[in-house]
Amino acid sequence: MDILHYILFGFGVAFQPVNLLFCFIGVFIGTLVGVLPGLGPVAAISLLLPTTFRAPPVASIIMLSGIYYGAMYGGSTTSILVNIPGEAASVVTCFDGYQMARKGRAGPALGIAAFGSFIAGTVGVIGLAFMAPPLAAMALKFGPPEYFSLMVLGLTVLTFLSGGSMLKSLMMACFGVVIGNIGLDLMTARPRFTFGMNILLDGVGLVPLVMGLFGISEVLLNVEQQLRERKIFETKLKGLLPTLQDWKESIWPMIRGSVLGFFLGILPGGGAVISSFVSYGIERKLSKHPEEFGKGAIAGVAGPESANNSATAGAFIPLLTLGLPSNAVMAILLGALMIYNMPPGPRLITVHPNLFWGVITSMYIGNVMLLILNLPLIGLWVQILKVPYPILFPLILLFCLIGAYSLNSNPAEVGLMLFFGVLGYLMKKFKYDGAPLVLAMVLGPLMDNSLRQSLLMSGGSGMIFFTRPICLVIFGAVAIILLLPLLPLISRIRKSIGGAEK
Amino acid sequence: MRNPDLSSSLFWFAIGIGISINSLKYGFGTLHEPGPGFITFFAGAILSLLSITLLFSSLRERAQRGGLRDLWAGFELGKVLYVVLLLVAYTLVLKSIGFLISTFVLLSLLLRVRGTYRLVTILFMALLATACSYLIFEIWLKAQLPKGILERII
């Protein structure tokens, strides 16, 4: 009954007024950025990160996590009403959600998406509470060689799942490792790749990098094209509550989607995106009426919406147990925890139980808040969707500028962000994925450290990575993943997922 | 350079080589005691190896793909350059002119990039957004935005 005890303890933390308030602010902002196309959770979290430095750490992490899963909720709203996904994980929701809206069933579609997300959030939180502690206990036995091989595995899985060209993603991962190691070397205090610029001595900041790669570049891409007039479905939204028949058709897709999403979410990279696609595929296979998919089948909304939400909970597992982020959002949270002096890793759960249990139970409370926010306030979100892009994009740019500047009150940070903005724009043009770069940049210094420590341990022999059993298994997995795309079937599946994401 | 992958792979190849050469300068160390440039040397080397692979695969696909120009066909590159230039200028003058004035000017110019509003509307919106962001970030979140030439007044 230990876990129950801890969960109750967590609720005690999460129900403190300040944490409730931060949780609410988080899910509110999350829904907002989920609704707004062109401003994703990554940019929003990095924007708000500097503002949390003076706030209590637990409340800050609760808020930043709230933005993450809140955005998943918000993204579904735009998918259903406008056929424009607010973020990548809601792409699938467009297929049937928008069709339901066109048939006048926008209400039940939004309702089932919200309920599905809620149920999935619950499954995710329970899974997190049961799986994280034993994993962390196991991770305590890991040494530098195990950590190094795990990070290599993480980057490899990410490049494999990232949809586009695996070759290009691997290239970006290499480049990211270098960017992560810019600045003073920790062991010898010698500057690396600083080119005489003071701003680079402390290394490239995660916030300017992420806001540039994901915020500025997205705006630049949108500025260059004539935006389609966004048509919002002008129907009276009534009957948000799904009927009994809707529930019957959705309940199993929801449960399957939740479990699937949770486990796929643990994998590095695009867990939420991949799981929503896989869930859609499974539901179509299992459905008695597969021909209705794409024409407004409610199961096609319920499954993927549940999957992408529980995936967000699963994504916390590698961060909170191993200290290794699995996607860009988790990478920022890792940076945040470092700044709050609570380095994530196997000891986090025992050293800072209030953080771990407080944050996961707050996700449960956040899910209730989201349900309340999303259903009655749907009209407000629809209004926000009507803000025209010519007005919206200068504001997004302004937020990024202020966010980067206020990090250290230094315009050089803004310059750095603009550099990565232009780089990100070109990368998108030339079809290079930014996610491996960000993850590798965060892991870069950790990899440098663990690699050097491992070699010191072994007296200069690289064999240390192949003689320790855990390392051997992990590197075996890396080799398999690198070779997998050469199989024609796997390559085709990857391409179809990549194509659908576009 | 007809194929986008061809030119981008050459670019990354050069970057990778540059990284490796610089890493050697920082000190590769030995396997027993790796130096500061150890991991970046390998990252750079792998990056250039991968770009060569991409180069060769792009040579094979050359016939099917369009050229560099196609990446911007039907898009307005001029608007992107204009926005980037505005942002660079903003960064350069932010500290000396101050947040309030430079932000107001920046927003007024940005709002005209895609919008077709009347000048009065644009100025009003820019003023409103500047004031709101100042209230939120400076007054409420205490972000310490630069005051610039308005230092004595506010």
- Domain termination residue (choose one: B72, B91, B116): B72
Mark yes or no for CB contact A393/B114 under 8 Å. yes
Q: How far is B107 from chain A (nearest CA, A)?
A: 6
What is the pLDDT at residue B89?
Answer: 94
Mark yes or no for CB contact B39/A50 under 8 Å. no
- Evaluate if residue A492 carries a pLDDT over 70: no
- Evaluate if residue A502 carries a pLDDT over 70: no
What is the pLDDT at residue A339?
Answer: 81
Cβ(A329)–Cβ(A301) below 8 Å: no
Find the mean pLDDT for residues B22-39.
85
pLDDT digit string, tens, across residues A89-123? 788 888 888 888 888 888 888 888 888 888 888 88
Whether residue B96 sits in one domain with residue B57:
no
Whether residue B143 sits in one domain with residue B121:
yes
What is the pLDDT at residue A487?
Answer: 74
* DSSP type of residue A229: P
Whether residue B85 sits in one domain with residue B142:
yes
Instruction: Enter the pTM of the model.
Output: 0.84
Whether residue B66 sits in one domain with residue B84:
no
Q: How far is B43 from chain A (nearest CA, A)?
A: 5
Which chain A residues have a beta carbon less than 8 Å from that of B144?
A: 406, 409
Whether residue B115 sits in one domain with residue B66:
no
Mark yes or no for CB contact A190/B47 under 8 Å. no
Q: Does B64 touch chain A (CB under 8 A)?
A: no
Mark yes or no for CB contact B137/A388 under 8 Å. no
Which chain A residues have a beta carbon less than 8 Å from that of B57?
A: 167
Which chain B residues have a beta carbon less than 8 Å from that of A175?
A: 12, 15, 43, 47
| pLDDT band per the 50, 70, 90 thresholds, residue A16 | very high
Q: Does B26 touch chain A (CB under 8 A)?
A: yes
Find the mean pLDDT for residues A9-31.
92
Mark yes or no for CB contact B39/A181 under 8 Å. yes
* Beta bridge mates, B29: B34
Cβ(A308)–Cβ(A297) below 8 Å: no
- Interface ipTM: 0.92
pLDDT digit string, tens, across residues B72-93? 777 788 889 999 999 999 999 9
Cβ(B45)–Cβ(B21) below 8 Å: no
- Evaluate if residue A230 carries a pLDDT over 60: no
Whether residue B144 sits in one domain with residue B81:
yes
- Evaluate if residue B66 carries a pLDDT over 50: yes
Mark yes or no for CB contact B8/A456 under 8 Å. no
Whether residue B142 sits in one domain with residue B89:
yes
pLDDT digit string, tens, across residues A398-435? 988 888 888 788 889 999 999 999 999 999 888 898 88
Residue from the list B54, B88, B141 with its beta carbon closest to the beta carbon of A168: B54
What is the pLDDT at residue B58?
Answer: 82
Mark yes or no for CB contact A460/B33 under 8 Å. yes
For A32-36, A267-271, A275-279, B146-150, which range has the lowest pLDDT when averaged over its residues?
Answer: A267-271
Tell me how many domains chain B contains.
2
Cβ(A120)–Cβ(A250) below 8 Å: no
Whether residue B127 sits in one domain with residue B85:
yes
Domain residues for the domain of B99 are 77-150
Q: Which residues make Cβ contacts (< 8 Å) with residue A319, sequence separation at least 6?
A: A325, A326, A330, A333, A334, A344
* Beta bridge mates, A184: A191
Which chain B residues have a beta carbon less than 8 Å from that of A54?
A: 142
- Evaluate if residue A469 carries a pLDDT over 80: yes
Burial class (CB in 10 A: 0-12, 13-18, 19+), A500: middle
- Evaluate if residue A461 carries a pLDDT over 60: yes
Whether residue B98 sits in one domain with residue B146:
yes
3-class DSSP state of A484: helix
Mark yes or no for CB contact A430/B4 under 8 Å. yes
Which chain B residues have a beta carbon less than 8 Å from that of A178?
A: 19, 40, 43-44, 47
Q: Which residues make Cβ contacts (< 8 Å) with residue A459, sequence separation at least 6?
A: B32
3-class DSSP state of B46: helix
Mark yes or no for CB contact B143/A171 under 8 Å. no
pLDDT digit string, tens, across residues B116-146? 788 898 999 999 999 999 998 888 777 788 8
